[in-house]
Structure 1
Amino acid sequence: MTQAIETEKLTLSYGDSIIINELDIQIPKGEITVFIGGNGCGKSTLLRSIARLLKPQAGA
């Protein structure tokens, strides 16, 4: 199955605070994907990065 969204060693931060460090994900096309986690763990930050609203510190 082809991947609709993929990250490689994605690192996201706000200033000096690293929120997500070297994340590799593959979200398949045509599937439902759910992000689950506690408050402040980086779910919205990841979605903002995928939408290209937040520039990653490193990775693609």
Structure 2
Amino acid sequence: MAEALLKIREVEKNFGGLRAVDKVSLDVGMGSIVGLVGPNGSGKTTLFNIVFGLR
């Protein structure tokens, strides 16, 4: 992969005693299409909100 357009390193988010996102790291290259897949409640939307400044 070429130089990453977006780099995420060890992102964490807790809600009280519940860890919603646990040390997620991700590189996204220019022109890449990326999907986050997981069951309900696995932290997909929370990660998106953190990355794009919505939380």
Structure 2: tracts of 5 or more residues without a match: none
TM-score (norm 1): 0.77
1:58 counterpart residue number: none
> How large is the Cα RMSD of the aligned pairs?
1.1
TM-score (norm 2): 0.82
User: 4+ residue stretches of structure 1 with deviation over 6 A?
Assistant: none
Report percent identity of matched pairs. Answer: 20
Aligned residues: 54
Structure 1: tracts of 5 or more residues without a match: 55-60
Query: Which of 1 and 2 has higher RCO (CA within 8 Å, sep 6+)?
Result: 1
Query: Structure 1, residues 22-50: CA drift from partner, whole Å, max 9, x if none?
Result: 11111112110011111110110010011
Q: Which amino acid aligns with 1:51?
A: F
